C-alpha cells in the first residue's frame, strides 16, 4: 500500500463540510461513466451522477458516501466534491429510503399514465436518490 501516493478528499454541501480525509483512490460515477482519481491527477472538473462515491482510505479501508449529483474538482492533490447533499452510510435511514423508493416508483407509473413529463422527471430523480442511499448502505455492509 505504501507506494500509493496520498491526496485529500473533501465533500462540501450547503449544510457544511461532510467529509474530509486522506485517500489513495477515489472512484466516482460521472455522467459519462466511472472514473478513478489518484494523487497527482491533472486539474479536472467532473459532473457526477446521483451515485455512491467510493473512497479508499490510507489504511486500506473502503468507505462509501451517497452523493447527490454535483461535481468533483481535482486540483493540486485536493479532490473536492461539491454537491447539494451528501450522506455517510451511518446517517442514512434505510427504512425511509425504501419507502421513498416505493413512492417514487408509484409516481413514475402514474406520471407515465398521465404523460406528465415534469412529474416523471421529478419522480425519476427521487427514485435515483433513494436507490443511491440504499446501495450506499448495502455496499458498506458487504
Distant-in-sequence, close-in-space partners of 123: CB < 8 Å, separation ≥ 6: 104, 107, 108, 111
> Does 82 participate in binding another protein (rule CB under 8 A)?
yes
- Integer Cα distance of 104 and 62 in angstroms: 30
> Does 40 participate in binding another protein (rule CB under 8 A)?
no
Count of residues in contact with another protein, rule CB under 8 A:
27
Q: Which stretch binds another protein (CB under 8 A): 73-81, 100-108, 109-117, 134-142?
A: 73-81
Using CB under 8 A, which of 6, 31, 58, 62 touches another protein? Answer: 31
Torsion sign over Cα 99, 103, 106, 112: negative
Query: Could you tell me the smallest distance in angstroms from the CB atom of residue 138 to another protein?
Result: 23
Burial label, 130 (beta-carbon count in 10 A; 0-12, 13-18, 19+):
buried
Using CB under 8 A, which of 85, 124, 128, 135 touches another protein? Answer: 85
> Does 76 participate in binding another protein (rule CB under 8 A)?
no
- Integer Cα distance of 6 and 60 in angstroms: 12
Q: Which stretch binds another protein (CB under 8 A): 1-9, 24-32, 90-98, 106-114?
A: 24-32
> Does 30 participate in binding another protein (rule CB under 8 A)?
yes
99's grid cell:
419507502
Query: Could you tell me the smallest distance in angstroms from the CB atom of residue 118 to another protein?
Result: 9
- Integer Cα distance of 27 and 104 in angstroms: 27
3 state DSSP class of 117: helix
Residues at the contact surface with another protein, assessed by CB under 8 A: 10, 12-17, 30-32, 35, 42-48, 69-71, 73, 75, 80, 82, 84-85
Amino acid at each position: 500500500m505504501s507506494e500509493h501516493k496520498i491526496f485529500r478528499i473533501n465533500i462540501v454541501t450547503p449544510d457544511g463540510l461532510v467529509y474530509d480525509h486522506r485517500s489513495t483512490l477515489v472512484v466516482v460515477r460521472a455522467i459519462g461513466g466511472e472514473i478513478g482519481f489518484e494523487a497527482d491527477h491533472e486539474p479536472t472538473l467532473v459532473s457526477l451522477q446521483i451515485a455512491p462515491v467510493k473512497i479508499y482510505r490510507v489504511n486500506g479501508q473502503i468507505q462509501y458516501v451517497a452523493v447527490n449529483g454535483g461535481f468533483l474538482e481535482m486540483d493540486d492533490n485536493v479532490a473536492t466534491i461539491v454537491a447539494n447533499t451528501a450522506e455517510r452510510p451511518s446517517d442514512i435511514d434505510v427504512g425511509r429510503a425504501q419507502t421513498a423508493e416505493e413512492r417514487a416508483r408509484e409516481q413514475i407509473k402514474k406520471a407515465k399514465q398521465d404523460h406528465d413529463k415534469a412529474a416523471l422527471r421529478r419522480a425519476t430523480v427521487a427514485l435515483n436518490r433513494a436507490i443511491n442511499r440504499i446501495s450506499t448502505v448495502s455496499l458498506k455492509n458487504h
